[in-house]
Amino acid sequence: MTTPEGPTEGPAEGFDRAEHLESPPPRRWRPRPPAGWRLPGPMQSIRFRLTVLYSTLLFALTAVVLGGVYWAVARSTDAQPITKTFNAEKVVQMPDGSQQRLGQVEVVKVQQVEQAVNYETQQTLKHYSLLTLGGLFVASLGIGWVLSGRALKPVGAIARAAEEIQATDLSRRIRLSGPRDELRYLADTIDSMLDRLDAAFHAQRRLIDDASHELRSPLAIIRANLDTVLSDADAEAEDRRRAVQVVDRATTRMTRLVEDLLATARRSAPAFDDNDVDLGLAAREAAEEFDALAAARGMTVERRLRRGLTVIGDHDALRRAVGNLLSNAVRLAPAGSTITVAADRMGGWQWIAVRDAGPGIRAEEQHRVFDRFWRGPETRRSRDRDRRTGLGLAIVRSIVEAHNGHVRLFSASGAGSTFVLWFPVSAGTAGTPGSGPPAIATPPEVDPLPSDDGTARRPVR
């Protein structure tokens, strides 16, 4: 390679140049703030930011207004300082008509005087405007700090109340007073959330207490029978067999209790399938499961099931709800009676009903039938020696309510009971013949399966 300066070593120079081009560019050093540096505490608050924002906006608005006034004055007037003067001789006219010369004086034109006056006016306006802007900015900082503090005072009250609320004590509430603004709405929303959490914690604590109480009895039975058999080496085979039967019944009861608790927990969670479910088919399958048991006890399961009753939900869950109702009916109804399972549509609602001819439920106890672990008096318990868990109807209610439905009880002492599961007609079936008008907020307060004597019974929710 040849250059104007003379021959050069081509390969070596090309190699060095290639290395130079491939090398990464040097990194520029940029100053970084110290690791622990941050704004002072008051400057990090929302109050400070609101104050600065308010003051900045007010300062900018005032500057625009004063600037516009100054520009309008400057455009409408001809202003400039005096640039040219003249020397004139001052002459005084005497009474006798003679003139007396007093010397030379400096004069300017009238137009320049007007311009000078306008110029001084503009300068004065500018100075006062700048002073006004400075004073207004300082005053706006103070006023903004006070006003933002008053506006954010409810936030401080909400924060203090939230700090005082502990996980084990949710009884305290904010109860913010004052106008119904956004902060009042926020406080009311937090209070309603705390109400729900408090109710959920109470229900959980009550469930744990009830479950512990229910499990304590079968565990004590198992322990007592095992201790009796194991401590007596001369125990007869009949005593051992009887102890094994008692332990088996106790373990069966505990197994059912645990299964019902798990079912209740699952039904309380949003874990249902979203499928089209035929209510008549779910009721028919549940009835088929209890046909043999009902026949063994001399009962008949009558079906009045309409086709085409579709809801969106979980088929297995709805079948279990109907099964729980049939289990109670078969267990409590007298021999030779008829248990009716029906499904139909009424007034924009679809329903499944299970009616039995059992002893019924007294009016003062009907509001408790859907509580967890509730069991009726001894006269209405199972005829066998296996005690129930008292979770069946609670599971029914949780399943129905998870499907946006309602449970109603129609019963009277000695007149049997009718449990009705109401479900709103879904949008996909609202236009089908016989569906009726769109579902109202609550289902009809009537028993779709009235008793044989036509007696009207009051529903229990």
Dump pLDDT digits (tens) for 382-404.
444 445 556 778 888 888 888 88
Rounded Cα distance between 63 and 133, Å, is 7
3-state secondary structure of 362: coil
CB 443 within 8 A of CB 410: no
**Predicted pLDDT of residue 341:** 94
Tokens encoding 121: 């006016």
CB 341 within 8 A of CB 326: yes
pTM: 0.50
State the average pLDDT over residues 122-144. 89
Q: Is the pLDDT of residue 427 over 60?
A: no
Q: Which of 159-173, 221-235, 263-277, 306-320 has the lowest mean pLDDT?
A: 263-277
**Predicted pLDDT of residue 10:** 44
**Predicted pLDDT of residue 378:** 41
Q: Which of 74-83, 148-157, 446-455 has the highest mean pLDDT?
A: 148-157
**Predicted pLDDT of residue 438:** 45
Question: Hey, what's the torsion of the CAs at 363, 324, 326, 406, to 10 degrees?
Answer: 60
Tokens encoding 282: 């779910």
Q: Is the pLDDT of residue 331 over 70?
A: yes
Token pair 């009895």 is found at: 217
State the average pLDDT over residues 352-360. 89
Grade residue 282 by pLDDT with cuts at 50, 70 and 90.
Answer: very high
**Predicted pLDDT of residue 4:** 41
State the average pLDDT over residues 15-42. 52
Q: Is the pLDDT of residue 271 over 60?
A: no
**Predicted pLDDT of residue 342:** 94
Give the residue, 100 or 283, on which the prediction is more confident: 283
Q: Which of 260-274, 327-341, 363-377 has the lowest mean pLDDT?
A: 260-274
**Predicted pLDDT of residue 228:** 79
**Predicted pLDDT of residue 343:** 94
State the average pLDDT over residues 91-106. 78
Grade residue 422 by pLDDT with cuts at 50, 70 and 90.
Answer: very high
Name residue 312's beta-bridge partners: 276
Q: Which of 55-69, 228-242, 299-313 has the lowest mean pLDDT?
A: 228-242
**Predicted pLDDT of residue 272:** 56
Grade residue 339 by pLDDT with cuts at 50, 70 and 90.
Answer: very high
Q: Which of 137-151, 192-206, 272-286, 332-346 has the lowest mean pLDDT?
A: 192-206
Rounded Cα distance between 307 and 261, Å, is 33
Rounded Cα distance between 64 and 133, Å, is 11
Token pair 């009537």 is found at: 446
Which CA distances in Å does 203 have to 196, 206, 243?
10, 5, 36
Tokens encoding 80: 């400039």
Tokens encoding 227: 């201790």
Q: Is the pLDDT of residue 31 over 70?
A: no
For residue 278, how far is the Cα from the chain centroid?
A: 32
Q: Is the pLDDT of residue 376 over 70?
A: no
Computed over every residue of the chain, the mean pLDDT equals 76
Which CA distances in Å does 412 have to 20, 129, 369, 451, 458?
100, 88, 13, 10, 9
**Predicted pLDDT of residue 250:** 80
State the average pLDDT over residues 40-63. 83
**Predicted pLDDT of residue 204:** 78
Give the percent of the chain with pLDDT over 90. Answer: 10
Give the residue, 426 or 57, on which the prediction is more confident: 57
Closest CA to 430 of 309, 273, 281, 344: 309
Q: Is the pLDDT of residue 305 over 60?
A: yes
Rounded Cα distance between 361 and 352, Å, is 20
**Predicted pLDDT of residue 198:** 84
**Predicted pLDDT of residue 435:** 44
Grade residue 355 by pLDDT with cuts at 50, 70 and 90.
Answer: very high
CB 26 within 8 A of CB 104: no
Give the residue, 247 or 373, on which the prediction is more confident: 247
